[in-house]
Amino acid sequence: MGNQDDAAIYDLVTDVQRKKDLVSSLVALSSSLRLEGDGFRASVNVIGQEPGGDLKVVWAGSPPPNLDENARVSVWFELRGQVYFFKCQPFYVPGGAVLGWAHEDFLRLQPRQDFRLAIPADYEASVEITSRAQGRVPLVARLIDVHTFGLGLLVPIGEKFSADENVEGVLTLGRHRPVKFASKVRFVRESGEGPQVGLAFDHGVHQTEDLLQQLLLNLRQDVFNLRRP
C-alpha cells in the first residue's frame, strides 16, 4: 500500500507531549486496555505508572495461558471517543504487566468507518461465494478491497453476475474468524483478469454488522503490522 492509502487508515501521533498526555489520561481514568498478541486477546486495567513512566496494568480476568515473554503485543485503548493503539514488548509481573510506551509509535484510528481498504498483495484474504442466482457455487473470488458497506471482488473469467443479484458468502481476513455475509451486486465491470464485481452488504440477513466492523478493525491492525515488523 502507498502512503495515501496508509493515511486513510490511521493518524500517526508523533508529538511526545501528546503521547504523555494520552498516557496521563489513561492513568487518571484507571482506563481499561486491550492487549492483542499471537493467539490471544485480553483486557487489563491501568493502575499507575513506574518511576520512568511505563504503564502498570493488572489483568481484568485470568491471564492468557502460555504468554510469550519475548513477543510484542498491540495495546488498544479509547479516549474521548477516539481509538488508539501502539505495540510494545510487555514485562510480565505477577498479576499483570508493565508496558513501555515512550519509544513506540501511537496510532489513532480515524473516526470515519467507511474507508475502502485495498488488500495488500502479501495479505491472506479470501471470499467464497456460497449462494448466487446463477453460475457455480461454491466460487472462490479474489478480494480487491473492503469497506463497511461492501466488497470489491475479482471473479474468474466467464463467471456472470447481474446488478441487484443476491449473493451470499464467507469473508476471511488473515487468521481471524470467517464471517458470513449477504449482499447485492451493485456493479459489474469487465477487466483483462476477469469481471470486477462490487457487492453491497445486507446486514439484516445474518445480523453480522458488528462482526464485520471488528473484522475491518483487525484488518487495519494487520496492515499496520505488515508495514512495521
Q: Cα–Cα distances in Å, from 46 out to 71, 163, 226?
A: 21, 51, 28
Instruction: Check whether 145 has a pLDDT greater than 50.
Output: yes
Q: How confident is the model at residue 118 (pLDDT cuts 50, 70, 90)?
A: confident
**Residues sharing a CB contact under 8 Å with residue 110, sequence separation 6 or more, in sequence order:** 8, 9, 10, 11
pLDDT in tens, 8-54: 356 788 889 999 999 999 999 999 999 988 878 899 999 999 999 99
**DSSP label of 194:** S
Instruction: For strands 10-13 and 106-109, give the pairing.
Output: antiparallel
CA distance 51 to 63: 25
Helix ranges restricted to H, the chain: 3-7, 16-28, 203-206, 209-227
Q: Tens of pLDDT along 178-212?
A: 999 999 999 999 988 899 999 999 877 776 777 77
Buried b (16+ CB within 10 A) or exposed e, 176-215: eeebbbbbebeebeeeeebbbbbbebbbeeeebeebbeeb
CA 54, CA 20: separation in Å to the nearest integer?
10
**CATH code that applies to domain 3-109:** 2.30.110.10
Q: What is the mean pLDDT of residues 104-119?
A: 73
Q: What is the largest CA-CA distance in the chain?
A: 66
Which CATH architecture best describes the domain 117-227? Beta Barrel (2.40)
Q: What is the rounded CA–CA span in Å between residue 91 and residue 171? A: 36
pLDDT in tens, 46-95: 999 999 999 999 999 888 887 888 999 999 999 987 889 999 999 999 99
pLDDT (tens digit per residue) in 212-229: 777 877 887 787 676 654
What three-state secondary structure class fits 82?
A: strand
pLDDT for res 147 = 81
How many degrees, rounded to 5, is the angle at CA 159 between CA 156 and CA 165?
125
pTM: 0.53
Specify the domain boundaries for CATH 2.30.110.10 within the chain.
Answer: 3-109
Residues of the chain within CATH 2.40.10.220 domain(s) are: 117-227
